[in-house]
Every structure is written in C-alpha cells, then in structure tokens.
Amino acid sequence: MTFVTQIQEFSREVLAEFRRVTWPSRQEIVNSTAVVLVVTLVIAFFLGAVDIGLARVVEKILR
C-alpha cells in the first residue's frame, strides 16, 4: 500500500464515521454552554472566597 493510498483510505473511513455521528442540536449546545458557564462562575467565586479567607487567616497568624 502506498502512502497516497493509505491517506485516501483513511479519509474515506473518517468520512464514514462522520456520517454515523449523532450531532447535538443547537438548543442542546446552548444549554450545555450555559451550564458550563454557570458552574465555572460558581467555582470561581468559591475559590476566590476561599483564597481571601485563607489570606486573612495567614495574615493574622503572621502578625
């Protein structure tokens, strides 16, 4: 099998797999994106609060 033949076969197999994929709807993508953004914001605020709290504890210990 030559290199070009291998590339052609690979391309055909990739296209065949893409035809079998069940792609999400636009609404599913929007909902998933919203969930990711909300969870990211909640975790960011939580970690920020923990960071500020620990910084104050360390500051009191070092005084």
Domain residue spans in the chain? 24-63
d(CA 59, CA 29): 44
The answer to whether 24 touches 32, Cβ cutoff 8 Å, is: yes
Tokens of 45: 């605020």
Q: Which stretches in the chain have pLDDT values below 70? A: none
pTM for this entry: 0.65
Burial code of 25-59, b = ≥16 C-beta within 10 A, e = fewer?
A: eeeeeeeeeeeeeeeeeeeeeeeeeeeeeeeeeee
Query: Would you give the distance in Å from CA 61 to the centre of its chain?
Result: 38
